[in-house]
Amino acid sequence: MKKEVNKQSKKVEPFDYASFEKEAINGLYEGKGLIGEDGIFTKLMQRFINAALEGEVTAHIKEDKKVGRPNRRNGYTHKKLIQI
């Protein structure tokens, strides 16, 4: 009996810094906060944290392969970062 593996492909969309800059400036003029659920930097921080975690997992898996331990990704799940 062969086990089917459902791999989710993760498509990374390029970050539009020009529109982010416009939104950030408008948000500052409107008095929005910098962080939090509706913060100006929330999307940018989310992208940065996800990239850092992705790099960490990739490095971990590569290191395991070098030592001979079988390890692999089995998909992606959405996670929510709670800020204090």
- Note the pLDDT tens digit of each residue in 26-84: 999 999 898 888 888 888 888 889 889 888 888 877 877 777 766 665 666 777 777 77
Q: Report the candidate in 74, 78, 77, 48 with the shortest Cα–Cα distance to residue 61.
A: 74
Q: What is the pLDDT of residue 26?
A: 92
Mean pLDDT of 10-26: 83
Considering the domain boundaries, does residue 9 fall inside one? no
Q: Name the residue range of residue 54's domain.
A: 36-71
Considering the domain boundaries, does residue 40 fall inside one? yes
pTM: 0.54
Considering the domain boundaries, does residue 12 fall inside one? no
Burial of 23 (0-12, 13-18, 19+ CB in 10 A): middle
Considering the domain boundaries, does residue 24 fall inside one? no
Mean pLDDT of 11-25: 83
Total number of domains in the chain: 1
- Distance between CA atoms of residues 67 and 61, nearest Å: 10
Considering the domain boundaries, does residue 20 fall inside one? no
HSE-CB of 66 using CA atoms within 13 angstroms: 6
- Distance between CA atoms of residues 8 and 5, nearest Å: 10
